[in-house]
C-alpha cells in the first residue's frame, strides 16, 4: 500500500506527500525549507529518498520554500512550462536543477507514474494523478474555481482524491476580505468552496473512490468542522455514511496530517 499526507495544508502554505516503501514525491513547498525539512524528519524521511517535487503553480503559498530548498538539495522539479518559466525568472530554480515541463504529459518519476492536468485558476495551474509502483492511484486538485471535465476525468477511478475545500460561502461573503478578493476567490478561476467540494466527493464516491483528503482550507473563511459538516450532510442525504462507507479527512494547516493508506 501507498501512503498520502500533507506536511501542511491551507491558505498560508501547502505541501503534500505521496510515499511508497520509503521513496516519495512532494507536491508543492509553500512554507520555509526549515519547516518542510522538520516535517519530513518527523516522518523519518530523508531528502535523499525524494524522487521529485511536483509544483502546481507559482503562488507563494505553494513555492515559498522552494528556492532555499533547491540551493541545498538537487531534486528534480516538475510543473507546467509556464510555471517553470516564472520560477526561473525569479531565480527560484538554480541552473543545475533538472526542471521538467509536463503540460498534460505522463512522466515516470522514480517508480511513480505521474500525469499532470490543468485546473481552473487565475494563473497557469495543474493537478496531478499519481500511480505508485504497486499500481495504486491517487490524484490531487487544489486551487481550482470549478471542477472542469478535464479535472473530473483525471480524478475518476482513483483510490484516494485530495481535493480543495477552500472556503465556506457564507463565511467568505460575510467576512473581512475586500470585495475584489471575495469576487476573485468565488470566481470560476478562484477556489473551490465546501459545497462544490461535497458535490464532487459524492460524484467520485459513485465512481468508486472511498478515501478523500480535504485540502487548502482558508484560515479566515473556513474551518475543518465546517468543511467536514458540509461534506457529511451531502453524503448522508445520499445514504452514504462517512466513517463507515468512506473516509473523509480534513488536512491540518500547520502540522503533518495522519497518513491515509491507498
| Per-chain mean pLDDT for the chain | 97
Cβ within 8 Å of residue 227, ≥6 positions away: 165, 168, 194, 197, 214, 217, 250
pLDDT, one tens digit per residue, over 90-123 is 999 999 999 999 999 999 999 999 999 999 999 9
Taking the C-alpha atoms of residue 35 and residue 86, their distance in angstroms, rounded to an integer, is 24
CB of 143 within 8 A of CB of 161?
Answer: no
The torsion angle over the Cα atoms of residues 39, 155, 98 and 48, rounded to 10 degrees, is 30
Percent of the residues in the chain that have a pLDDT greater than 70, as a whole number: 100
CB atoms within 10 A of CB 148: 16
CB of 169 within 8 A of CB of 199?
Answer: no
Q: Select from 72, 38, 46 the least CA-distant residue to 254.
A: 38
Per-domain residue ranges for the chain?
A: 3-261
pLDDT, one tens digit per residue, over 169-210 is 999 999 999 999 999 999 999 999 999 999 999 999 999 999
User: What is the rounded radius of gyration, in angstroms, for the C-alpha atoms of the chain?
Assistant: 17
* E strands in 132-182: 137-141, 160-164
Assigned C-alpha cell, 93: 530554480
Residue 1 has pLDDT above 90, yes or no: no
Does pTM top 0.75 for this prediction? yes
* E strands in 11-68: 13-20, 23-27, 50-54
Taking the C-alpha atoms of residue 253 and residue 222, their distance in angstroms, rounded to an integer, is 11
Cα separation of the two ends of the chain: 6
Fold of 3-261: Metallo-beta-lactamase; Chain A (3.60.15)
Taking the C-alpha atoms of residue 223 and residue 217, their distance in angstroms, rounded to an integer, is 7
Amino acid at each position: 500500500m501507498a501512503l498520502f499526507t500533507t506536511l501542511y495544508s491551507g491558505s498560508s502554505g501547502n505541501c503534500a506527500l505521496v510515499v511508497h516503501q520509503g521513496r516519495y514525491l512532494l507536491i508543492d513547498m509553500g512554507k520555509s525549507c526549515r519547516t518542510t525539512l522538520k516535517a519530513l524528519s518527523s516522518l523519518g524521511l530523508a531528502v535523499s529518498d525524494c524522487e521529485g517535487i511536483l509544483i502546481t503553480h507559482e503562488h507563494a503559498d505553494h513555492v515559498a520554500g522552494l528556492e532555499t530548498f533547491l540551493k541545498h538539495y538537487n531534486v528534480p522539479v516538475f510543473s507546467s512550462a509556464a510555471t517553470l518559466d516564472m520560477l526561473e525568472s525569479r531565480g527560484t530554480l538554480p541552473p543545475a536543477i533538472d526542471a521538467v515541463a509536463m503540460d498534460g504529459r505522463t512522466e515516470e518519476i522514480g517508480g511513480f507514474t505521474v500525469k499532470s492536468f490543468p485546473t481552473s485558476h487565475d494563473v497557469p495551474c495543474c493537478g496531478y494523478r499519481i500511480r505508485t509502483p504497486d499500481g495504486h492511484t491517487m490524484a490531487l486538485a487544489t486551487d481550482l474555481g470549478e471542477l472542469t471535465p478535464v479535472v473530473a476525468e483525471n480524478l475518476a477511478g482513483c483510490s484516494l482524491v485530495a481535493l480543495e475545500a477552500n472556503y465556506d460561502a457564507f463565511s467568505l461573503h460575510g467576512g473581512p476580505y475586500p470585495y475584489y478578493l471575495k469576487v476573485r476567490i468565488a470566481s470560476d478561476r478562484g477556489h473551490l468552496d465546501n459545497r462544490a467540494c461535497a458535490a464532487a466527493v459524492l460524484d467520485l464516491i459513485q465512481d468508486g473512490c472511498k478515501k478523500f483528503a480535504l485540502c487548502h482550507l482558508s484560515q479566515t473563511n473556513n474551518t475543518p468542522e465546517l468543511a467536514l459538516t458540509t461534506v457529511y450532510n451531502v453524503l448522508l442525504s445520499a445514504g452514504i455514511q462517512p466513517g463507515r462507507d468512506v473516509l473523509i479527512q480534513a488536512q491540518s494547516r500547520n502540522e503533518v496530517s495522519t497518513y491515509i493508506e491507498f
